[in-house]
Structure 1
Amino acid sequence: MLPTEPLALHHSWPLEDRSMRFDLGRIDDLPPLPPGMPGRWRCEFPGDRLIWSDGVYDLFGLPRGARVARDEVVRLYAEGSRAAMERLRAHALKHRRGFTLDVELRPANGGARWMRLIAAPHYHDGAIVAIEGLKLDVSALYR
């Protein structure tokens, strides 16, 4: 991953562009994804409750269906990637924007992997209720 200092806002996009970035719907209303497809995820507020499709568990090297806490998961990001992701996430929530970022992971089952993170905040009656999106393995782009 190339340095993002100062953090390039070209990774950030307006929520109106959501349909150009992905078709989300609610994660729990969607059918299962076939293997090899992007994983869907959602982090609900308050409490940072994570909801993941099987593909996301696979990316992080965690058992499918395991209860995971956000603070445990962010430790699986390489330091530079974690810092960039946290800055973009904070910017997205504060300014009601989505973002796309490739991040380096250190999966729980070992090795290294690159993941494309596509995320957008979800609002209900003007209040933020979640951030959600897609995660896909892009390791082949970094070999």
Structure 2
Amino acid sequence: MKPTEPLPLFHSWPILDSDRHFDLCHLVDGDAAATLSAVDDAFLARHSIGRWECDLKDSRLTWSDAVYDLFGLPRGTDLSRAATVAQYSEDSRAAMERLRAYAIQHHRGFTLDAQIRATDGTPRWMRLIAAPVCVGNRAIRLVGLKRELSPRH
């Protein structure tokens, strides 16, 4: 790993622990203490954080503007999970897919620092935070945040 690249972070956590992992005072350098649902997308975007959601029934993605910007896609573009996953580096894609499958099967959240390549070819690092939304004993979607990381976060 080059000295300018962030140290990778990845782990799984129980969804009962979601409040701690989505606590914005940890995500935004301690200047806000709000829950994920109470914060608007404009506030998140000022801190290079975007909201995302994936419907597990059909893999339909929903992104806030900051996630479109991170991936270098025009805002409002129709999204394909396969196309956006292809923007991940090979190592990051493999780690993300393993954590995603584990999260869905075991109802756990996860955090992953992943490298992507924006549509203009620019490599970027992001912190991906995800948690399943469950109905009964079945995960129906994944929700979370993506935050662009500086090379030396």
Into which bin does the TM-score normalised by the smaller protein fall? 0.7 to 0.9
Aligned partner of 1:31 in structure 2 is: 40
Query: For 1:75 and 1:137, how far apart are their aligned partners in 2?
Result: 18
Pick from 116, 124, 145 the counterpart of residue 134 of structure 1: 145
Gaps spanning 5+ residues in structure 2: where?
Answer: 3-9, 23-34
Q: For residue 94 of structure 1, give the secondary structure of its aligned residue in structure 2.
A: helix
Gaps spanning 5+ residues in structure 1: where?
Answer: 3-9
Confirm or deny that 1:85 pairs with 2:96.
yes
- Whether the aligned pair in 2 keeps the contact of 1:122 and 1:129 (CA below 8 Å) is yes
Query: For 1:72 and 1:36, how far apart are their aligned partners in 2?
Result: 26
Q: TM-score, normalised by structure 2?
A: 0.79
Please list, as runs of the form range in 1=range in 2, the aligned pairs for 1:44-59 lying within 5 A after superposition: 44-59=55-70
Q: Aligned pairs, how many?
A: 132
How far 1:30 sits from its partner (Å)? Answer: 6.3
Task: Tell me how large the CA RMSD over aligned residues is.
Answer: 2.0
Identity fraction in percent: 48
Query: For 2:126 and 2:77, how far apart are their aligned partners in 1?
Result: 20
Query: For 2:14 and 2:79, how far apart are their aligned partners in 1?
Result: 29
Q: TM-score, normalised by structure 1?
A: 0.84
How far 1:33 sits from its partner (Å)? Answer: 2.2
Aligned partner of 2:31 in structure 1 is: none
